[in-house]
Amino acid sequence: MRLEDLNWMDVERYLERDDRIILITGATEQHAYLSLLTDILIPSKIALAAAEREKVLVAPPFNFGNSRFFADYPGTISLTRQTFDLVLIEVFESLLHQGFRRFFFLNGHGGNQLPAQLEIFLDDDEVHVQWYDWWRSEAVRVFEAHRGLKLNHANWGENFIFNRVAESPAGVKPNVNFYDTDRTQPVSRDQLGDGSFGGEYQVSDDLMNELFSLVVDEVVRLLRWPSAG
């Protein structure tokens, strides 16, 4: 269920039986030949698939994150960490005031982190917060080990059918060495080239569907953590 498909009375009725909500965080930034909204499209698809099974409410995605590393790539839109944290905290406070108590942050961007002010709720008895980086999940690690692949920025691991906007090159790109690179400053396009960090550009859709299903299954399990209060 998405907020955009409901009115306020629907949400009030939802809160009478459930206090969970999924908050999607990501970024608008370069992903080589993939959509600039890759870091939003992937967690959004995962969230909606999991929410369909668990009947959990999904908030509109937060489309911007800390993407200064890719500032020299047209189409990238970046926020400071301070701005990102402030907006996320105010969204959290709004929903908390209305009666939500279990918050599942489904994150799609490596530059985002749970605001420090919300970390106190990771182990709170009454209000529960979970932060989930989908590409760092146990499901992805198991898939990588089983298939002999390594997910990286803008390589096969983010190349789903729903976020392709152009044909990806065939073959494998050598991994880009970021040793001693300051991730707080824009990366040189001479160093990074098309934007991929390296590895296979694309694998079969069957493999990607397998990966997607594994991640959704994991999110569903995590959404079933004990009721607040």
Q: What does the pLDDT read at residue 6?
A: 97
Contact 102, 53 (CB under 8 A): no
- Residue 111, domain CATH: 3.40.50.10310
User: Is residue 228 one of the residues assigned to a domain?
Assistant: no
Question: What number is the average pLDDT over the span 212-220?
Answer: 98
CA distances from 36 to 27, 151, 183 (A): 8, 18, 19
User: Is residue 51 one of the residues assigned to a domain?
Assistant: yes
Q: What does the pLDDT read at residue 227?
A: 55
Lowest mean pLDDT among 47-61, 65-79, 152-166, 177-191: 177-191
Question: Strand 128-133 and strand 102-107: pairing?
Answer: parallel
Q: What does the pLDDT read at residue 183?
A: 74
For residue range 110-147, list pLDDT tens digits in order. 999 999 999 999 888 899 999 999 999 999 999 999 99
Q: What does the pLDDT read at residue 229?
A: 41
CA distances from 126 to 99, 115, 116, 120, 228 (A): 11, 19, 18, 11, 5
How many structural domains does the chain have?
A: 1
User: Is residue 229 one of the residues assigned to a domain?
Assistant: no
Q: What does the pLDDT read at residue 98?
A: 97
- Cα 29 from chain centroid? 13
- In terms of residue numbers, what domain contains 150? 3-223
User: Is residue 95 one of the residues assigned to a domain?
Assistant: yes
Does residue 228 carry a pLDDT above 50?
Answer: no
User: Is residue 13 one of the residues assigned to a domain?
Assistant: yes
CB atoms within 10 A of CB 56: 21
Q: How confident is the model at residue 52 (pLDDT cuts 50, 70, 90)?
A: very high
Does residue 179 carry a pLDDT above 90?
Answer: no
Q: Cα–Cα distance between 53 and 21 in angstroms, integer? A: 14
The pTM score is 0.94
Q: What does the pLDDT read at residue 90?
A: 97
User: Is residue 108 one of the residues assigned to a domain?
Assistant: yes
CB atoms within 10 A of CB 186: 16
For residue range 189-200, list pLDDT tens digits in order. 999 999 999 999
Q: How confident is the model at residue 13 (pLDDT cuts 50, 70, 90)?
A: very high
Does residue 16 carry a pLDDT above 50?
Answer: yes
User: Is residue 70 one of the residues assigned to a domain?
Assistant: yes
Question: Strand 20-25 and strand 102-107: pairing?
Answer: parallel
The average confidence (pLDDT) of the chain is 95
